[in-house]
Amino acid sequence: MLGHTLLAASRKPPVRRLVTSAGVSRRLVDRFVAGDGLDDAVDTARNLLADGLSVTIDHLGEDTHTLSQATDTRDAYIALLDVLGGFALTPGAEVSLKLSAIGQALPEDGHRVALDNARAICLAAERAGSTVTLDMEDHTTVDSTLAILRELRHDHPWVGVALQSALHRTEADCAALAHTGSRVRLVKGAYAEPATVAHQRKADVDLAYVRCLKTLMAGGGYPMVATHDPRMIAITEHLVAATGRAATSYEFQMLHGIRVTEQHRLRDAGAQVRVYLPYGSDWYGYFMRRLAERPANLTFFLRSLFSR
C-alpha cells in the first residue's frame, strides 16, 4: 500500500523536483545505478564479469515523448553494444530494453517506431555476440510488447522478455512462452496496477510467482528467475534438484546493489547469476520503484533528506 502511494506521488512534478534536486538522493542512487555514463556501465560490468557474474545493462530512460528522444536512446544502445563487443565483454554482458524508451508510447505509430528501433538494437547485439531482453512495463504495454517480441524472434530467436506474476494474465503468458529456446525473465512486477488486471495482495503475487516458476521450469525454455526473495530462490533450487535441470539451462537475476552476498552464494553454489545493471542520468523512475519496493530504502532516503 505504501509502495502504491509512493509510486502515485512520484508522478507529481514537485516530488520529482525534490528527489532530483542536487545531491539529495545521490548516495542512495549510487547504490543502485552504475553511474551516468557509458564508461561507468562498462567498468562496472567488467568488474562483475571478473567476479564470475553476468550482467544485463539497462540504459536508463522511459516515457520517451519525442521521436528524436527514441532515436537517441536506440543509438545509445547500439553504441553500448559496440563497446561491449569491442572489449570482448560479450556474451556475459547483454542489454535490457524498455520499449517505452525507444518510442512505444509515442501517440503516432509508437508500436512501429519501437519495433524498428528494437530491430536495429537486436542487429547490433547480434554483431556484438550479445542478446537483448525486453523489460515489461505497466499492464497497458503487455500486448504490444509481446507482439514486438514475436516479430523480433523471427530473426533473433534469442530475444528474451520479462513477465510479471502480479498480472492475472501472466500464468497463461508463461505457458505460451515456456517452449524450447524461449528466454523468459520472471519478476513479481514493479508497477502499481488496478485490481481488474492484477493481484493486490503480496501473498497472491508470491503464489502466482511460484505457479509461473513451475510452468517455466517444467518447459523447454530458458527461465531467468529474477527475484531477491529468499523463498522464491529456495523453491527454484528445490525445483532444479527435483527435475535435474542443468545449471546452464536457467539463471538467477538480481538488481545491482541488492542482496550482493546472496548473488555470491548462488554463484559459489554453481548457479548462473546475472546482475541487472542500470546506468544513465535519467534514473528517477527506476529509483522511485526501488524505494517503493522496500520501506527500509525509503526510511534511509528520508533520513538523508533531513540530515543534509
Ligand X SMILES: Cc1cc2nc3c(=O)[nH]c(=O)nc-3n(C[C@H](O)[C@H](O)[C@H](O)COP(=O)(O)OP(=O)(O)OC[C@H]3O[C@@H](n4cnc5c(N)ncnc54)[C@H](O)[C@@H]3O)c2cc1C
Name the residues annotated as catalytic.
135, 185
The residue with its CB nearest to ligand X is 228
The least distance separating ligand X from the CB of residue 66, rounded to whole angstroms, comes to: 23
In degrees, rounded to 5, the angle at the alpha carbon of residue 96 between the alpha carbons of residues 94 and 101 is 140
Which residue, 7 or 81, is less far from ligand X as judged by CB?
7
Which residue, 86 or 295, is less far from ligand X as judged by CB?
295
Which residue, 84 or 187, is less far from ligand X as judged by CB?
187
Residue 295: partners with Cβ closer than 8 Å, 6 or more residues away: 2
The least distance separating ligand X from the CB of residue 110, rounded to whole angstroms, comes to: 18
Which residue, 127 or 144, is less far from ligand X as judged by CB?
144
**Which cell numbers in the block locate residue 196?**
481488474
CB 168 within 8 A of CB 196: no
Give the E-state strand segments of 129-205 in sequence order.
Answer: 132-134, 160-164, 183-187
The least distance separating ligand X from the CB of residue 214, rounded to whole angstroms, comes to: 16
Q: Taking the mean position of all CA atoms in its chain, how far away is CA 104?
A: 17
CB atoms within 10 A of CB 77: 25
The least distance separating ligand X from the CB of residue 134, rounded to whole angstroms, comes to: 8
The reply to whether omega before 295 is within 30° of 0 (cis) is no
The least distance separating ligand X from the CB of residue 108, rounded to whole angstroms, comes to: 25
Q: Taking the mean position of all CA atoms in its chain, how far away is CA 277?
A: 9
**DSSP one-letter code for 161:** E
Q: Catalog residues that contact ligand X under the rule CB under 6 A.
A: 135-136, 162, 164, 187-191, 226-229, 253-255, 258-259, 276, 290, 293-294, 297
SS3 33: coil
CB 30 within 8 A of CB 307: no
Which residue, 158 or 191, is less far from ligand X as judged by CB?
191
CB 280 within 8 A of CB 286: no
